[in-house]
């Protein structure tokens, strides 16, 4: 999982500020997933993106959260007007473009970005 790069690793924001989390997938991977992990909970799916396309954002809160994966550059998870409840670990994962197989297709997680809202 060392190949998926996330930054910043730790981010502190005051209530009402914006948080931007960046994710560079592993080389050759064109699919990116964002997951959120609240304290003492499992990971919750947020959004799945391919280059320039949001494929599934069913786990994204309806307001203040957005994600993009431009043609060039990293994927960005943006949280506007952060609140204390946004404090969590945000994990990015990537997978190769060869999808659709039950066997052998796994995703690779980055080290995570820990957001603290004060």
Partner 1 sequence: QKEVEQNSGPLSVPEGAIASLNCTYSDRGSQSFFWYRQYSGKSPELIMSIYSNGDKEDGRFTAQLNKASQYVSLLIRDSQPSDSATYLCAAVPLVFSGGYNKLIFGAGTRLAVHP
Residues making contact with partner 1 (CB under 8 A): 1, 31, 33, 35, 40-45, 48, 55-56, 91, 95, 99-100, 102-112, 114
**Closer by beta carbon to partner 1, 81 or else 105:** 105
**Closer by beta carbon to partner 1, 28 or else 42:** 42
Quick check: helix, strand or coil at residue 86?
Answer: helix
Contact 35, 17 (CB under 8 A): no
State in angstroms the smallest separation of the CB of 61 from partner 1.
17
Q: Can you tell me the distance from the alpha carbon of 42 to that of 45, in angstroms, rounded to the nearest whole number?
A: 10
**Closer by beta carbon to partner 1, 9 or else 15:** 9
Contact 104, 39 (CB under 8 A): no
């Amino acid at each position: 999982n060392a190949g998926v790069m996330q930054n910043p690793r730790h981010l502190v924001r005051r209530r009402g500020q914006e948080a931007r989390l960046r994710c560079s997938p592993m080389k050759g991977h064109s699919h990116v997933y964002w997951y959120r992990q609240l304290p003492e909970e499992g990971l919750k799916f947020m959004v799945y993106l391919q280059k320039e396309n949001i494929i599934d954002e069913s786990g994204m809160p309806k307001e203040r959260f957005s994600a993009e994966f431009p043609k060039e550059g990293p994927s960005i998870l943006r949280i506007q007007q952060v609140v204390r409840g946004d404090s969590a670990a945000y994990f990015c994962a990537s997978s190769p473009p060869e999808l659709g197989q039950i066997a052998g297709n796994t995703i690779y997680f980055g080290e995570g970005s820990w957001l603290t809202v004060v």
